Amino acid sequence: MINPFRSEAEAYRFLLLSVGYFAAIAIAALAIDKWAGIVVFLGLTVAGLVYVVRAHSGEPRQQTVSSRRGRENERRILVIANETVGGERLREEIRSRSEGVDEHVFVVCPALNSPLRHWASDEDGARVQAQERLNTSLSRLRQAGVDARGEIGDAEPLQAMEDALRLFGADEIIISTHPEGRSHWLEKGIVDAARERFAVPITHVVVDLEAEQDEVREPT
């Protein structure tokens, strides 16, 4: 099933608008009469349709182009990962793409923070957890000889990518997710949306952390 919303924030706004929409109709009908409710219903519906038509009648959004800042013999790799940032499969992909070139790797770990967590003031906790995962991943990459640095990005992965491209100027992007069925990013269509939005080659790496942990537990 394709998720119609481009981000969790967009879905949250839709929920709030829907509640407001039906609440306005109910209040008008109860406080005045049913005809007032019908008038409010028609007015809000027409206004919503006009907004949707205007939002989709403009020119197609141009792809964001990375502003490259490296030398010709460099490879600048932007990595977007969250819970899978420490996965061995991701590190193998980064190492393989770093062989034989002067690589510079920039890892962005968006903080997991839903609107509910935001209202519950749990944003700091989400950033702390993301920073811990990022630090561990950067340490292992550097131990493998990869020139890597990173930062905590915007909670929305697409926005985090756009911000990082302005700062880093990547030649390519690696997006790391959980397998299908366990990945919130895949459910939201983040990989496809990124390929449509950014004029940079994008590689999707699937990291199965559960399988990697099982391999570690197996006796030798």
The two beta strands, 102-110 and 202-206, are unpaired
For the stretch 90-142, pLDDT in tens is 999 998 888 888 889 999 998 765 444 444 445 567 788 888 888 988 998 88
Quote the percentage of the chain above a pLDDT of 70. 74
CATH class of 74-217: alpha beta
Instruction: Report domain extents, the chain.
Output: 8-56, 74-217
| Residue showing tokens 């481009």 | 6
Give pLDDT, residue 123: 57
The edge-to-edge listing of strands for the beta sheet with 102-110 is 148-153, 102-110, 74-80, 172-177, 202-206
Nearest CA-CA partner of 78 in 9, 10, 3, 167: 167
**pTM of the shown model:** 0.66
Give pLDDT, residue 206: 95
For the stretch 150-172, pLDDT in tens is 999 888 899 999 999 998 889 99
In this prediction, residue 186 has a pLDDT band, given cuts at 50, 70 and 90, of very high
Q: Which residue has the higher pLDDT, 131 or 19?
A: 131
